[in-house]
Amino acid sequence: MKKLKPPKPHQTIRYVFSDWVKCLAFTFAFFAIGNIVAQNDSIKFNGNDVITGKVKQMKTGVLKMETNYSDEDFKIDWDEVTEFYSDNIFTINLSDRSLLAAARIETVSPGVFRIVNGVESREVGVDEIVYFRKLDKEFWNKLSASVDFGFRLTKANDFQQFNASANIGYSTDRWTLNSSYRQVRSVQDNTDPIRRVDGSATGDYLLQNGIFFGARLNFLSNSEQQIDLRTTGVLGAGYYIFRTNTLFWNGFLGAAINIERFEPAPEGEAPTGQATSRESFEGVVGTELSVFDLGNFDLSTSTYWYPGLSKGGRNRLDFRLDTTYDIAKGFYIKAGITLNYDSRPAAGGAESDYILLSGFGWSL
For residue 301, the model assigns a pLDDT of: 96
* Residue 125 confidence (pLDDT): 93
Q: Quote the CA–CA distance of 294 and 299 in Å, as a whole number.
A: 8
Tally the residues of the chain: 364
- pLDDT value at residue 4: 41
In order, the DSSP letters of 209-269 are TSEEEEEEEEEEEETTTTEEEEEEEEEEEEEEEEE-SSEEEEEEEEEEEEEEEEPPPPTTT
Asked if residues 314 and 278 have their Cβ atoms less than 8 Å apart, the reply is no
Q: Any idea what DSSP says for residue 191?
A: S
Query: What domains lie within the chain, and their CATH numbers?
Result: 41-136 (2.10.109), 141-363 (2.40.160)
| Per-residue model confidence as pLDDT tens for the chain (364 residues) | 444 444 444 444 444 345 544 444 444 444 344 444 445 789 998 778 888 888 888 988 888 888 877 777 788 889 889 999 998 888 898 988 888 888 999 999 999 999 998 878 999 999 999 988 887 666 666 788 999 999 877 766 677 889 999 999 988 778 889 999 999 988 887 777 888 999 999 999 998 788 999 999 999 999 888 899 999 999 999 999 988 888 899 999 999 999 999 887 655 555 544 568 899 999 999 999 999 877 788 999 999 999 999 988 899 999 999 999 988 878 999 999 999 999 998 888 889 998 888 899 998 7
The SS3 assignment for 49 reads: strand
State if pTM tops 0.85.
Answer: no
At 305 the pLDDT is 97
